[in-house]
Amino acid sequence: MIHSLRKHWPLIGIALLAILVGLHLFRAPRQSKEGSSGPAAAMEKGLKLEDIHYSQDDPDDRVKWFLDAKEATLSDDKQVISFRHFKLRLEPENRPRVELEGENGAFHRNSGEIHLHGALRGSTDDGYRFATESAIYSQKKSCLETHDPVKITGPFFALEGRGLLLNVEKETLIILSDVTALIDKGLPVL
Is this prediction's pTM over 0.75? no
- 79 contact partners, CB below 8 Å, separation of at least 6: 108, 109, 110
Q: Which of 114, 120, 69, 119 is nearest to 99 (CA)?
A: 120
Q: Is 152 exposed, middle or buried (0-12, 13-18, 19+ CB in 10 A)?
A: buried
What domains are defined for the chain? 1-34 (no CATH), 41-183 (2.60.450.10)
Q: Give tens-digit pLDDT for 53-64.
A: 988 877 777 889
- 73 contact partners, CB below 8 Å, separation of at least 6: 46, 47, 48, 49, 81, 82, 83
Q: Give tens-digit pLDDT for 45-104.
A: 568 889 989 888 777 778 899 999 999 999 888 899 999 999 999 999 888 899 999 999
